[in-house]
Amino acid sequence: MKKFIYAYILFALLLTVNAAPFQLNKRAITFVTCDDTFPSTVLNVKIGSDHPESKKNESFEVSGKLTYEPIVKDITVLRIEYSANGNTLGDIYDQVFSYSVEPRTPFNISASDVPTPELPDSYMLYVYVGEYDRMEGFFYESACALATVSGSS
Ligand SMILES: *[C@@H]1O[C@H](CO)[C@@H](O)[C@H](O)[C@H]1NC(C)=O
Ligand SMILES: *[C@@H]1O[C@H](CO)[C@@H](O)[C@H](O)[C@H]1NC(C)=O
């Protein structure tokens, strides 16, 4: 009987130890593609501090490869947008590319001072590469990555 209890305690300990890293993973922000129309388009996003903090600046490292569109110097934009319940939070952040890149060619861009809006517990973080058409007043996206964050505070 005693042996059985020890085995049980050991088993419970193992479960606890295994659960710890899993909880850390749950809190990490992971980006996934938000548009599977262009499966060969890649957009990788890394953010500075794991969870952006309200009213502070966050840094973003974005790299990837566009399938069809080139990146055009001074025209193509890296766009970062926080949203909750379908509404944009704060201001949309746009940063123009300072160099051109052919389609299917790896690119990278970093934005070191992206203002974080006042964040609710749960929100979405969108990262786009695209182009703003002033005539149409419309943003054409070439690539999009999305992170869903919940229980951030
Ligand atoms: C980022 O892109 C530039 C321009 O294409 C390139 O010269 C540089 O090596 C790239 N850096 C990284 C870390 O990929
Ligand atoms: C945050 O970023 C904005 C522009 O993106 C900049 O004007 C401001 O100085 C930055 N604040 C800090 C504390 O770095």
Residue 116 domain-assigned? yes
Predicted pLDDT of residue 2: 59
- What region, left, alpha or beta, does residue 85 occupy, with left being phi > 0 and alpha being psi -120 to 50 degrees? left
- Total-model pTM: 0.79
CATH number, position 66: 2.60.40.10
Whose alpha carbon is nearest atom 10 of ligand 2? Answer: 113
pLDDT digits (tens, 9 = 90+) for 88-143: 999 999 999 999 999 999 999 999 999 999 999 999 999 999 999 888 889 999 99
Closest ligand to Cα 73 = 1
**Domain total of the chain:** 1
Residue 9 domain-assigned? no
Closest ligand to Cα 64 = 1
* Residues with Cβ within 8 Å of residue 50, at least 6 apart in sequence: 27, 28, 29
Q: Are 127 and 31 within 8 A, CB to CB? A: yes
Residue 16 domain-assigned? no
* Residues with Cβ within 8 Å of residue 112, at least 6 apart in sequence: 57, 59
